[in-house]
Chains A and B, each alone.
Chain A
């Protein structure tokens, strides 16, 4: 069966520090991968998605970047965190169209 791992679960980082969040999927090949963010009191905002290794699409301009170095690995990064980067970050995967997406447990990032 397929599983998705996302870590760390919680993270407190100072402003200006770098960020690296990792997500891996097991039990499937060539998934579409997604990074979402839920800011306090808001919905799920799509940040990045990837349909294959090295292929990254960005939905909104921001202080973040994403990479997909392997088929089932998706990384969210920042060189210098801002206070506004605080939020709940979720990784998700799906196979093809007209299918549901499956989410990881999320990372609570607090920038102080």
Chain B
């Protein structure tokens, strides 16, 4: 059972515009969320995280928004750059359990120059 879902397998955005990647989850006990970026044949690299006590976290061009009532989080990339082209995964965990991360299926972002 997929507890973390990314319903858009792919997204294309023009360079300089905003990229919005979405993620939905079903487990209401998830309270720590992360976004990872992955290039082919490489391991994912951490981008940004958010705790459930917040609804927004910013780091440079990357902002993550969390809507707990809707069980939804999103990653905004502004402005998008060609180097951002990669697969983006969201992940979630229950911090009181501490151990498992659950990942979504990924969204492939293409930034068009």
Contact = CB atoms under 8 A, between A and B. Distances in A.
A74 interface: no
B103 A36 contact: yes
A100 B99 contact: no
B101 A34 contact: yes
Interface string B56-91: 000000000000000000000000000000000101
B109 interface: no
Contact of A43 (B34, B95, B98, B106): B106
Nearest to B94: A97
Interface residues of A, number: 27
B43 A32 contact: no
B90 to A, nearest CB: 10
Contacts of A102: 46
A51 B45 contact: no
B103 A43 contact: yes
Interface of A: 6, 32, 34, 36, 42-46, 49, 51, 57, 59, 88, 90, 92, 96-98, 100-106, 108
Interface of B: 2, 6, 32, 34, 36, 41-46, 49, 51, 89, 91, 93, 95-96, 98-106
10 contacts: A43-B2, A43-B6, A43-B105, A45-B103, A46-B103, A97-B96, A103-B36, A103-B45, A104-B43, A105-B43
